[in-house]
A and B are shown apart, each in its own frame.
Chain A
């Protein structure tokens, strides 16, 4: 199994799309929850293969996009301190706070480093005992186990100079918040496969039952997403509303038990603010009392930070599926990836950036013609 090419097969993709066209009898609105799925849909042009009846709405599953501006401002304040080495995943560096971003902090002398794992930040803390090393611990249930592991290891190694700025958020409460919104148009969800690989999908069973909404656990490659949509449409058209697992090569009902035990050891559920949406009760994790010493918010004085959002950014409506990115008045005008007003225009998983980068052609009238002489190169096969 090569895991990539066989899930990008164009012949199978066309067959799945044809099957979806055959099943559909009326318009349906389906939300893919995860930003990674949004990215894949736009990058591969999956939406262009679907019948007009299927509308995909891009959900709030991009961790970069939903991290509130107040927390970005805290990160910027911490990263600006001379004793701090601030470690972050790469795509947080360009997210605008109230006044600047981490790139700007770095150009002004802040020690901001891109890491690929929180354990890298632990290693940096070990080799820089006189500096305060802070990791920007954002993300959904997917990134949380590695962050929990970093904190456990830091304690084991007795690292007093390591802390984490935590903003973990959870998928099921966000889905429930969308379902409870009076403006909700979503009739089925593609659940985020990688979140479910950690947490399993048992949490979604009561949601599907209570709200009568199909939820299909879906992967990220083009065929995964088409299969997820096909199963969602099949349920909608036959009047069923259950949880299906269309990503069985990575997801089980119970999920990754050791990861869940680690999460329960380190984190407890808390209310979280979502950028552009507001506070969703019980929608995040914070450090338990026993691990509070690793909380960067407690370690540094972060009082008197005044945060404000761009008044014209409507990323909250985009994240809740009530506005397509290109329907926002600022889209492509005041707000571009070069001058983002909101995080949804920054992250490669953000719906606005995905639309801007990959979707702009929808507004140009010229039909596409590809060279017919071009034959696939054997290297790619």
Chain B
């Protein structure tokens, strides 16, 4: 077995700062990007730039989207869903973001010794319901059990394939100055729903996870015209801020948003204020951001609003040539601020 040689990394400094994995390496921000760019991408000979949500594979007779995702959420059950729905919808959405029609999933369970059987059964039932709702079949799987204390209830991996219709080519590299940025609804619901039931932090709020399969919404948008939509991203961990920064960096464009136009429910806004969090950085599991040619934006928006998962869709900003690589927000009182890439986890403020 070959292990990567730390001395041979193209830019070893960022990782050498960290002799051990820290939680932030899974936060979807800069630390995650560094781990991918300096460890995984070189080891697997992947292009280090513009890794999308799913790989697009050219096969004889068509193109296949291929993606994998692992789910380690705690608690396993939360308002609006469970790890079961997340595991199906998460991979379905990764496929949908490259314009694919999701078809098949495989799943791997890593279960901690002592996990109550009825909980596992409930999670599996949620997966089955979510798969049926999304129109995908779970066709293969694997189960491993680890000693008590070596897991956290259950970890689930899903890998999925989907078919990409002819003429659909989505990707951050297609985003260009002038594009309009659309968002399919309120942000922060999933992250704050999880927060509201975390140990030591229960607060009374009717916030539910937004977990949902987005391929139907994406297909409705692509119906407007396959060239009209340049890129789709689902803002999961790291939130809307992370995906906007990823696109800005990959396409070397500026992205300007107007904070007043970004939908946030009053409950999520209040919970974020209470904890000193910024909704732009809070996770979503059933929303997408779209980068659309300006002449098609109104029609795409109308199509989104007529879909059940896009009723609160809004135009939130636009793509500019400069400042390349930066995301800038106009604040509610009319100032501006930079929306930086998150580093690791967002940390609640002290007071």
Contact A106 B22 (CB under 8 A): yes
Q: How far is the CA of A158 from the CA of B251 in the complex (A)?
A: 60
Residues on A with beta carbons closer than 8 Å to the beta carbon of B18: 104, 107
- A370 to B318 Cα, complex, angstroms: 7
B332 closest partner in A (C-beta): A8
Provided the pairs A46-B333, A371-B317, A374-B317 are in contact, do residues A380 and B260 lie with their beta carbons within 8 angstroms? yes
Complex alpha-carbon distance, A14 and B106, angstroms: 56
Q: A337-B343, A361-B323 are in contact. Are A222 and B349 (CB under 8 A)?
A: no
The answer, yes or no, to whether A257 is at the interface (CB within 8 Å) is no
B338 interface contact, C-beta 8 A? yes
On whether A379 and B312 interact (CB within 8 A), knowing A45-B337, A143-B351, the answer reads yes
* Chain A residues whose C-beta falls within 8 Å of the C-beta of B314 in the assembled complex: 374, 377
Residue from the list A64, A194, A364, A371 in contact with B256, Cβ < 8 A: A371
Query: Do residues B338 and A358 form an inter-chain contact, with CB atoms below 8 A?
Result: yes
CB–CB B349/A45 < 8 A = no
Asked whether any CB of chain B lies closer than 8 Å to the CB of A80, the reply is no
- Option from A63, A93, A376 in Cβ contact (under 8 Å) with B347: A93
Q: How far is the CB of B8 from chain A (nearest CB, A)?
A: 22
Contact with B along A99-132 (1 / 0, CB 8 A): 0000110111000001110001001100000000
Q: Which residues of B contact A359 (CB under 8 A)?
A: 337-338
Instruction: Name which residue of chain A comes closest to B348, CB basis.
Output: A90
Q: Say how far A59's CB is from chain B's closest CB, in angstroms.
A: 15
**A261 sits at the interface (CB 8 A):** no
Q: Which residues of A lie under 8 Å from residue B326 when comparing CB positions?
A: 360-361, 364
- Taking the closest CB of chain B, its distance from the CB of A63, in whole angstroms, is 6
**Closest CB of chain A to B281's CB: distance in Å?**
11
Q: Does any Cβ of B come within 8 Å of A214's Cβ?
A: no
Interface check B236, CB cutoff 8 A = no
| In the bound complex, CA of A88 to CA of B186 (Å) | 31
Contact with B along A16-60 (1 / 0, CB 8 A): 000000000000000000001001001111111100000000000
CB nearest neighbor in B for A41: B335
Of all chain B residues, the one with the shortest Cβ separation from A62 is B350
In the complex, the answer to whether B350 meets A361 with C-beta atoms within 8 Å is no
Q: Are B334 and A45 in contact (CB under 8 A)?
A: yes
Tell which of A13, A36, A143, A364 touches B323, judged by Cβ atoms closer than 8 Å. A364
Residues of B in contact (CB 8 Å), total 57
Q: Give chain B nearest CB distance to A376 CB in angstroms.
A: 5
Collect the chain B residues with CB atoms within 8 Å of residue A120's CB. Answer: 200
Say if the beta carbon of A142 comes within 8 Å of chain B: yes
Residue among A48, A107, A124 making CB contact with B21, cutoff 8 Å: A107
Do the beta carbons of B318 and A371 come within 8 Å of each other? Answer: yes
Chain A, interface size: which category? Answer: 35 or more
Question: Which chain B positions have C-beta within 8 A of A374?
Answer: 258, 261, 314-318
Question: A89 is contacted by which of B20, B180, B350 (Cβ under 8 Å)?
Answer: B350
Q: A377 to chain B: which residues have CB within 8 Å?
A: 260-263, 312, 314
Given contacts A64-B350, A142-B351, A366-B323, contact A373 B336 (CB under 8 A): no
Contact check, B336 vs A349: say whether CB atoms are below 8 A apart. no
Would you call A222 and B22 a contact (CB within 8 A)?
Answer: no
Question: Is the CB–CB distance between B348 and A370 below 8 Å?
Answer: no
Q: How far is the CB of A127 from chain B (nearest CB, A)?
A: 11
> Contacts A64-B350, A194-B351, A349-B349; is A10 near B273 (CB within 8 Å)?
no
Instruction: List 10 interface pairs A-B (beta carbons < 8 Å), by A numbering.
Output: A10-B333, A42-B337, A46-B333, A49-B334, A89-B350, A115-B200, A347-B350, A349-B350, A373-B315, A374-B261
- Give B residues with C-beta under 8 Å from A: 14, 17-18, 20-24, 30, 180, 186, 200-201, 254, 256, 258, 260-266, 269-270, 273, 275-276, 297, 312, 314-318, 320, 322-323, 326, 328, 330-338, 340, 343-344, 347-351
